[in-house]
Amino acid sequence: MTTTEHTTQGLTESGGDASHDLVPEELGLAERAAGEWLDVTIIVPVQSPEAEVREVARAIGGELDREGRSWEIIFVFDGVEGRALEEVQLLRAERGSQVKSIVFKSPFGESVCLTAAFERASGRYVLTSPQYVQIDPLEVGPMLAALDGGNGRPGADFVIPWRSPRVDPVLNRAQSVFFNWVIRQIIRGQFHDLNCYFRAMKREVLEDISIYGDMYRFLPVMAFRQGFTVVEVKVRHLKEWGKAGFFGLGVYLRRFLDIMGVMFLTKFTLKPLRFFGTLGGIFAAVGSLICMHMAVQKYFYDGQIAGRPMLLLGVLLIVLGVQVIGFGLVGEIIIFSQAKNLKEYRIERIYE
Amino acid sequence: MRISAVVPIYNEAESLRPLTAELTQALESMGVPYEILFVDDCSTDGSLRIMLELRKQNPHVRIVRFRRNFGQTAALAAGFDHARGEIVATLDGDLQNDPADIPALVAELEKGFDIVAGWRKVREDAFLLRRLPSIVANKLIALYTGVPIHDTGCTLKVFRAKVVRSMALYSDQHRFLPVMYASTGARVTEKVVNHRARRFGHSKYGLSRATRVLLDLLTIKLIAQFSQRPLHYFGLLALTFFVFAAFFGFVGLIGVEGAAKGDLSPLVSINEWELPTVSIVIVLITLVVFFVLLGLLGELAVKASGMHRRGTLDRILNELHA
């Protein structure tokens, strides 16, 4: 099942009183008049009935009020109910349409939460927050200021926090530092803290990048690879939910595969043969070298090559290389047959 | 609107004014309605400001600005999508193409062609790094695809808008446009054009493209000639490997010495060649099966997309040349 199906089938609007709760779907973004834009939409995926919804809304909302920015907050209940949902109902009674909620009947993950909430967001900036007050709310100001730009500098498109100093257990911190170091080596970006979800971005970023699966974590990486400017802001870390200990091999493996997927998709989507062709070419070249070596052995030194596993390895490498190139060719066919739907460029503005 | 001149711009601040002047002169001389469409690939050197000034002075100028840098193919694709003319002329923003060539290219197009490609017969570039790789690449392309175009890398080309919009343009395909269209039945020709030394800025290309061009070549052949029937392409590959397999099988049965002499007597006895060749045959047969399956997968992809683009292009071409 695809992401969009999840969001349409799996969500109900809480409270039943949808008229003032959600932005009408048919009101497309382009038609929305300038006055109807809000400054900031806060999106909070809720994954525990004990989530500090009221505290999050008060901390971030209060800070935004002080900055004089208009805001709304969207809570996405990812298959949870309970105390947090009741709190949100109360909040809605107090604040009215400033507080919105989306309820999934079963958990779909943060990526789906973000996508569903973004479809209903009317802020020019989107701020995602974990379900508890993880970062000092005073940091909201500097993060949004980085999006604004100023002093002749264009604003960033994406601002991610760098928790420093961190307050979670040393063991978790070490693993996190290691993970971020590996990613820095792979993508040659300068991200020190991808695991913190207190992020601010312009809405263009989410309009441009479709996220699914575990991509939520790698949203800054995707944005960076697609040419958006991503900046880091050092923030004060207040607390961390979650238990101390090793994350486990499965977690590492999943994250590694994710980052490979991100790399592949951002670089080679439209040119699969560049990837498969290079990979297959390397295999085939190594195989050919081995086979040539065997031939020299056979003819010039009269060696016995028949039973040698080296010969088998060479032949198999060539075959593997050719097969990988074949995959790339099928990839090209798939992309070509879909190319009408894939627009490679995004236009900022047309000056007639 | 008769003619749209599409110019991808990436950091060409100094060239823009002379370019616009030359373009205006060339297009005015033709006496038909025209526009100049700049596609700004998110320049960072203030090119946009100059373009906006030019637009104020010259009502024929339109500008499409990208949100970020997407590369030349994307810029041309955007140009094709937004051009209003029946004829689209593309040229580089660096003044190396001479806008004065456009009228002659358009005249050639009006003789009944769909695409006229510029051919820089005399090039003002460094030989070893720019011209030699280009000559080799073009020879390869012509040989492999059977479309004899001398200079696919020249941006100065003239297209019929209807024809060029019938196929999506992505990746680095812009240099292969004449080849792709020629193999789908469009009428493609070339004409010698002027080429000038670079006056401002620096080249945005390097030699690192060699492997990419080779891989792109495989793609172009596949897409241009077999995009409707991928099974034919993979079937041919499978057949090639099958021939090899048969050869090795033969050798394995009678040995190299026997095969060379045409002596079939070792057929019944085990010989020293049998073991290695049999393993090679097994592996090659695997490849044959693999390629046939890949071809079927390709057919699935084409069918699932409901792609009948070739059909649309055929119809357009029929209307144009009826």
Q: Which of A311, A330, A346 minimises the CB distance to B294?
A: A330
Q: Which residue of B has its CA nearest to A306?
A: B276
Q: Which residue of A has its CA nearest to B44?
A: A154
Q: Which of A334, A340, A345 minimises the CB distance to B70?
A: A345
Identify the band that residue B192 occupies on the pLDDT scale cut at 50, 70 and 90. very high
Give me the pLDDT at residue B270, please: 60
CA distance linking residue A262 with residue A218, whole number of Å = 8
Q: Which of B211, B280, B302 minimises the CB distance to A333?
A: B302
Å from B255 to nearest chain A CA? 13
Give me the pLDDT at residue A288, please: 94
B-chain residues near A326 (CB < 8 A) = 234, 237, 290-291, 294
Give me the pLDDT at residue B307, please: 61
Mind listing the pLDDT tens digit for each residue in A156-192? 889 999 888 888 888 888 888 888 888 787 776 778 8
Q: Which of A140-144, A286-290, B212-216 has the lowest mean pLDDT?
A: B212-216
Give me the pLDDT at residue A35, please: 56
Mind listing the pLDDT tens digit for each residue in B145-188? 888 888 888 889 999 998 888 777 887 778 788 888 887 778 89
Mind listing the pLDDT tens digit for each residue in B198-211? 777 666 555 566 67
Give me the pLDDT at residue B207, please: 54
Give me the pLDDT at residue A244, please: 64
Residue A3, pLDDT above cutoff 60? no
Q: Which residue of A has its CA nearest to B274?
A: A306
> Phi/psi of residue B285, each to 5°?
-65, -40
Give me the pLDDT at residue B84, please: 93
**Region class of A213: left (phi > 0), else alpha (psi between -120 and 50), else beta:** left
A-chain residues near B56 (CB < 8 A) = none
Contact B66 A348 (CB under 8 A): yes
A-chain residues near B275 (CB < 8 A) = 306-307
**DSSP code of B313?**
H
Q: Which residue of A has its CA nearest to B53?
A: A351
Q: Which of B219, B272, B294 minimises the CB distance to A273?
A: B219
User: Does A274 or A32 have the greater pLDDT score?
Assistant: A274
Q: Which residue of B has its CA nearest to A310?
A: B276
Adjacency order of strands within the sheet including A11-13: A11-13, A99-104, A71-78, A38-46, A123-128, A199-202, A158-163, A230-235
Å from A333 to nearest chain B CA? 6
Give me the pLDDT at residue A7, please: 38
Contact B233 A329 (CB under 8 A): yes
Q: Which of B64, B74, B222 minimises the CB distance to A333?
A: B222
Identify the band that residue B308 occupies on the pLDDT scale cut at 50, 70 and 90. low
User: Does A21 or A101 have the greater pLDDT score?
Assistant: A101
Mind listing the pLDDT tens digit for each residue in B264-292? 666 556 666 666 677 778 888 988 999 99
Contact A333 B69 (CB under 8 A): no
When scoring A329, A343, A352 by the number of chain B Cβ atoms within 10 A, the one with the most, hence best to mutate, is: A329
B-chain residues near A273 (CB < 8 A) = 215-216, 218-219
When scoring B40, B41, B62, B171 by the number of chain A Cβ atoms within 10 A, the one with the most, hence best to mutate, is: B171
Q: Which residue of B has its CA nearest to A334?
A: B301
Identify the band that residue A152 occupies on the pLDDT scale cut at 50, 70 and 90. low
Strands A158-163 and A230-235: parallel
Give me the pLDDT at residue B64, please: 93
Side chain identity at residue A14, one-letter code:
S
Å from A313 to nearest chain B CA? 11
Residues A330-351, mean pLDDT to the nearest whole number: 81
Contact A348 B301 (CB under 8 A): no
Give me the pLDDT at residue A28, please: 40
Mind listing the pLDDT tens digit for each residue in A8-67? 333 444 433 333 333 333 334 444 445 578 899 999 999 888 888 889 999 999 999 998
pTM for this model (two decimals)? 0.74
Q: Which residue of B has its CA nearest to A332?
A: B219
**% pLDDT > 90, chain B:** 33
HSE, side-chain direction, 13 A CA sphere, residue B293: 8
Mind listing the pLDDT tens digit for each residue in A182-213? 878 777 677 888 888 899 999 888 888 877 77
Residue B116, pLDDT above cutoff 90? yes
Q: Which of A228, A315, A344 minimises the CB distance to B280?
A: A315
Adjacency order of strands within the sheet including B3-9: A347-351, B61-66, B34-40, B3-9, B87-90, B157-160, B115-119, B188-192
Give me the pLDDT at residue A1, please: 34
Burial A236-272 (b: 16+ CB within 10 A, else e): ebeebeeeeeeeeeeeeeebeebbeebbeebebebbb
Helix (H, G, I), strand (E, B) or coil at B88: strand
For residues B182 and B147, the answer to whether their CB atoms sit within 8 Å is yes
Written as six digits, the tokens of B195 are 């080429």
Q: Which of B62, B223, B286 minimises the CB distance to A332?
A: B223
- The interface pTM score, or ipTM, of the predicted complex is 0.77
Tell me the range of A138-152, B26-40, B135-149 where mean pLDDT is highest.
B26-40
Give me the pLDDT at residue B230, please: 87
A-chain residues near B173 (CB < 8 A) = none
